[in-house]
Amino acid sequence: MSKYYLEKEKYYWLKLLFDGLLLLSSFLMIYYIKRGHLAIEHNFRKFLPILFLIWFLSTLFSKKFMKVEKQNYFELLKPFLLSALVLVAMLTLIMYVLGWYYLSRFIIYGTVGVFLVLEIAFLSCIFFIFKRESEKKKVNQFSVIFFLIEFAFIIIVFMSLYFYKKGTAKLTENYQILLMGILFTWLLVSLSSHKFNIVKKENYLKTIFPFIRSEIIIISFISFFIFFFKLAMYSRLIIFGSLGLFSLLEIIIVSVYYIFTAAQISDENVIDIFHAREIEAEKHKFIDGKKKQAKIYDFHGFALKTASIKEKLKNVYLKKFQSVYKFIENNLNLNRIDILESEVVNTRILYNIEILENSSLAFFLNLHKINNFRRINQYFIEANKKIKSGGVFVGRFESIEQRRKRIYQKYHYVFAKLIYLFDFIYRRVWPKLPFFKKVYFAISKGNNRVLSRAECLGRLHFCGFELIDLKEIDNFFYFIAKRVKSPSSDKNPSYGLIFKHKRVGKEGNIFFIYKLRTMYPYSEYIHSYIYEKYKLNTRGKIYGDFRITNWGRVFRKYYLDELPGIINLLKRDIKLIGVRPISETIYSIYPESLKKVRIKYKPGLIPPYYVDLPHSIEEVWESEREYLEKYGKNPIRTDLFYFIKSLNNILFHHAKSE
């Protein structure tokens, strides 16, 4: 199972069985109230299997009993509410499609309503019995007391007005359904507006506002529903009288609560002066297991003319993003950044960046994720124009891995697989196909694009930036990049299935070798960065190269990525057997003596690596040196020997290129 999958809670299947028993109990309870007996009719015996099937599917979909970060009671409750919504929607759809209009709506929807109430009651007991003491001290917790009081108020007020109007407490079927509808609307609006997460504020209006807003929405929704469906048979006194009286009682209860807790509210806002500077405490990083002083970019050549941006960045711009502030502070000397040469925005509109003065900024921060820009390179190029040479650009993006993690955390893994597959095809494959590319951008407008870490960093380097640091914060990558040059003039960066690599050939001439793309787009522009960060493994390859795609590893394993090299063979850029065509970056680290011999001959499609199977970069050099010496003395015999030996090692000894 992937590490991104949500794990099942302890006693998962036992909890699922207990939940099913609650549903059965709810059905029997409502059926008995309606019919006065438990002799289940034939129509409802056909209905029950459908009810339990939809309940099972809605339970899987809503992740009721899956482990997920549940910070408060409302977070714990959301999956159960979602499951009830799905259950109601699916039951309604099936009843309509099958034409089962003769089934009692009170029994169907009453079962779901009572089932949800029983779930909430059981969940509330578990939550308050087993929650830790530390959780009890948290502010803004979901108030079960308010929830239960309001639930009782709605029923009492409705029943009282019904008795006053009709002279009896026995509800007719129409009013039973109406009461269930009011309760369900109240529950949905109340939970979605978070009004039971009581926020203790010094301002009375701010405390009571969520309740007033909730009441207005409930009354508006019920009014629209009655008017739209022309339900004139219902008494307006009972409907609006109940809602109005309930609203009044709610306001009174909240006001009393505010008055009796007002003294405690002011005590909770005392500033802890002993921890006020906690953000600035961490000034070091752990590198290679040792604690070293972080390298701070010092903005040499930049003069501080007015005031630095540091305090405003911390206390205003990034007040709600302290982890981001810490990341920036640990990498940049903020005291040397003039506030008049800084810009902090949260926008995907390119115009908001284009209107800035060229070469005017030492610091540019955009909190809007790069995935939402249709023309990412154009955005980076505009940022490059606005930033001075040596100035920095700070931004964020969501990588493929983070996107996958988000999807698998949001949905049950059964549904997450299907959703991720569709998401991958629609947002990753379509933009790279000629016809579908136009369809994709016409529908999505470039919003919420899928980006790999390698592609985003590659685009940054392509557009004239050099990465200072990269860090994952709250499932996003935040980067700090320095402007070092103008954007590249290269008109053909890697993006399609087949692309061209720059390689050092005979006489040191640069040529392009064709390959199936096994790396993410724009990966070639961060080759030097990757080499400096990860160095080489024992076989002369970059260790831990995150630029390689999953399917790219398969291509490399079976040499499929080398097939387009036949084009270079036909163009006579390379020969069949020879030293591997390497990039200028890798060529620069070779010993001078080997460099001189290397460029005397054409590189090859099949390198001597497959004959000697070296285990270190030094052994790779020695393998190539030995081949070149033999080739210089007897070219035909040497290539024939190396061809047969390479074929033998590849086919029977599983030699492969990593």
- Rg over alpha carbons for the chain, rounded to the nearest Å, is 34
Of the candidates 267, 276, 145, 146, the one whose C-alpha atom is nearest the C-alpha of residue 202 is 267
Quick one: the chain helix, strand, coil %, rounded to 5? 60, 10, 30
| pTM of this structure | 0.53
The structure tokens listed for 613 are 């199977």
Give the three-state DSSP class for 3.
Answer: coil
* pLDDT of 467 strictly over 90: yes
- 535 pLDDT band (50/70/90 cuts)? low
What ranges make up the beta strands (E) of 346-449?
Answer: 361-366, 387-397
* pLDDT of 653 strictly over 70: no
Separation CA 504–CA 131 (nearest Å) = 65
CA atoms within 13 A on the CB side of 270: 6
**Cα-based torsion angle of the residue sequence 447, 452, 455, 461 in order, rounded to the nearest 10 degrees:** 100
**Per-chain mean pLDDT for the chain:** 80
* pLDDT of 374 strictly over 50: yes
- Among all chains, which residue has been given the structure tokens 């990966």? 523
- 144 pLDDT band (50/70/90 cuts)? low
Q: Which residue has the higher pLDDT, 144 or 434?
A: 434
The strand pairing partners of 469, in sequence order, are 480
Residue type, 491: K
Contact in structure between 222 and 283 (CB atoms under 8 Å): no
Mean pLDDT confidence for 225-245:
78
* pLDDT of 101 strictly over 60: yes
- Among all chains, which residue has been given the structure tokens 């460099």? 595
pLDDT tens per residue across span 631-641: 999 999 999 99
- 552 pLDDT band (50/70/90 cuts)? confident
Domain definitions of the chain by residue range: 12-267, 294-398+453-488, 400-450, 498-652
Give the three-state DSSP class for 381.
Answer: helix
Q: What are the Cα distances from residue 67, in Å, to 70, 118, 135, 376, 411?
A: 8, 21, 17, 37, 12
Of the candidates 485, 511, 514, the one whose C-alpha atom is nearest the C-alpha of residue 500 is 514
Of the candidates 450, 570, 626, the one whose C-alpha atom is nearest the C-alpha of residue 521 is 450
**Cα-based torsion angle of the residue sequence 103, 107, 112, 116 in order, rounded to the nearest 10 degrees:** 180
Of the candidates 623, 506, 524, 626, the one whose C-alpha atom is nearest the C-alpha of residue 574 is 506
- Expressed in angstroms, the distance from the first to the final Cα of the chain is 26
- 10 pLDDT band (50/70/90 cuts)? low
pLDDT tens per residue across span 594-628: 999 999 999 998 888 888 888 788 888 999 999 99
- Among all chains, which residue has been given the structure tokens 């005291």? 335
The structure tokens listed for 155 are 């029923």
Q: Which residue has the higher pLDDT, 251 or 476?
A: 476
**Domain 294-398+453-488 belongs in CATH node 1.10.1760:** no
Separation CA 161–CA 178 (nearest Å) = 14
pLDDT tens per residue across span 402-435: 998 988 887 776 678 888 888 888 888 787 777 7
- 291 pLDDT band (50/70/90 cuts)? very low
* pLDDT of 267 strictly over 50: no
The strand pairing partners of 479, in sequence order, are 395, 470
pLDDT tens per residue across span 180-229: 888 878 877 776 666 666 555 555 666 777 788 778 878 877 876 776 66
Question: Nearest 5°: phi and psi at 492?
Answer: -130, 60
529's CB contacts (< 8 A; 6+ apart) are: 457, 461, 466, 467
Burial track 234-260 (b if 16+ CB lie within 10 A, e otherwise): eeeebbebbbebbbebbeebbeebbee
